[in-house]
Structure 1
Amino acid sequence: MDLNKLKFDERGLIPVITQSYYTGKVLMQAYANKEAIQKTIETGYATYFSRSRNELWVKGETSGNKQKVVDIKIDCDEDSIIYLVKDYGVACHTGEESCFYRDLKLEKSEKPPAFEIFHALYEKLKERKEKMPEGSYVASLFKKGSDKIIQKVGEEAVETVIALKNKDKDEIVYETSDLIFHLIIALLDAGVKLEDIQEELLRRYK
């Protein structure tokens, strides 16, 4: 990447969007100058320029919520960039995972964006496991133990195979969703994170 091609403003700054490597979620927006980007490349950790303090700052230097930069993407007009990061802790000073935790509710829904559904579902099921609310189907599975959870995964896998054999799209979608739902429960029970699966799939990507 030729930093000289980037279009910095009159203050020598360029907007930086920081995005989660695993979920695709936008975590924050800040600014960087050429020195900050160079330091990011050299160290592998997200470095920005603080306009209020007029100095470089490494995300997580004091809080511990560091951001390991996997890639830097450049806008087509070369006037903004994206830090694609593995984030260790929250991005926002408020304690929220992302600085973009509020919205205008253009669509009245409490559901996460579609691209976040797997990680959001993992976190929701993890919460069920930790709090074990009364009347929760997921909590009841965890109470019954690993054997029951594994059995459910097997049952859903068989039903998915049958749906695939029948080539019924609606049935395939429904049964596959059931399988993924119960598989995530099984991963939680086994102490496996979705990031572990993503890393293994990335290893196989050729």
Structure 2
Amino acid sequence: MTHSNSYNQFQNEILQQSHSWDELNANIRWDRDGLVPAIVQDADSHMVLMMAYMNSESLRRSLDSGDTWFWSRSRQEYWHKGGTSGNTQRITSLYYDCDGDTLLVKVRANGPACHTGRISCFYNEVNEVDNKPVFEHSNEQPQTTNGVSADRFAILGELEQMIADRDRERPEGAYTTYLFEKGIDKILKKVGEETAETIIAAKNSDNDELRYEVSDLIYHLLVLLQERKLPLDDVLAELDRRHERPRKD
């Protein structure tokens, strides 16, 4: 199924569930300015990317085009997300909550959501208030799978964001800046070198060396993905799709 056909199917399902555009429009509790907050979430990673406002017309434009459209309260005009930057958001599904006063828009993003160049607008973590840890008294235990913390892959997201920041800002003297300035051939050479060193470490049965070399390899692979503008989420989604396929054995 082509992407266009897939989106048309999604659009038809949205309208069928609500019977008509008029009923869908009526089910949304627009505020006194005719707006409703729209939370944009990555369809694959489930990361919250941004929050903006839609009115009836921008919601209609979003459904018609398959890309996110919003209403800018500051500029008092419609804006097509990524229309200028190219960082568009292709809608995969759309929901409204139980009260009808908030939209959830799941997308596949073609680039960062934030104007700063970050993947998500929600990058300012609150750690302390009045010099006290925010969650000092929290009794909540981290979710685990087979005894392993569910956020054990968080470092990959942090590393991907750091590499994206280096690509955008190019701070002088940083090794990642050096790789990006040397270009794709240098990056590929480093991936090849780290792959070879990983193989040697494995053949030597040296797990300390193997751990070190695999870490280097993963880092350089993330640099390669950034150079090619291929999000890690796309790779994870591909792994997820493969996992869901029926086994042939």
- TM-score over 0.5 for the alignment? yes
Question: Secondary structure of 1:24's match?
Answer: coil
CA distance in 2, matches of 1:38, 1:182: 47
Q: CA deviation at 1:155?
A: 8.8
Pairing partner for 1:90 from 94, 100, 112:
112
Contact 1:142 1:189 in 2 (8 A): no
- The residue type paired with residue 90 of structure 1 is P
1:21-51 Cα shifts (integer Å, max 9, x gaps): 3332222211001221121122111111112
2:192 is aligned with 1:146: no
- The residue type paired with residue 105 of structure 2 is Y
Contact 1:153 1:186 in 2 (8 A): no
CA distance in 1, matches of 2:202, 2:70: 45
2:47 is aligned with 1:25: yes
Question: Secondary structure of 1:17's match?
Answer: strand
Question: Secondary structure of 1:145's match?
Answer: helix
Q: What percent of counterpart residues are identical?
A: 31
Which residue does the alignment assign to 2:100? 78
CA RMSD of aligned residues (A): 4.0
Question: Secondary structure of 1:49's match?
Answer: strand
Say if 1:187 and 1:153 are closer, same or farther in 2 by CA, change over 3 A. farther
1:50-105 Cα shifts (integer Å, max 9, x gaps): 12333321011112221112221322222101222222222222333322222321
* TM, length-normalised to structure 1: 0.63
- The residue type paired with residue 176 of structure 2 is E
Moved more, 94-103 or 81-90: 94-103
Runs of 4+ with deviation above 6 angstroms: 125-129, 153-156
Say if 1:121 and 1:154 are closer, same or farther in 2 by CA, change over 3 A. farther
Say if 1:117 and 1:145 are closer, same or farther in 2 by CA, change over 3 A. closer
2:227 is aligned with 1:205: no
Say if 1:19 and 1:81 are closer, same or farther in 2 by CA, change over 3 A. same
Higher relative contact order (CA 8 A, sep 6+): 1
2:216 is aligned with 1:196: no
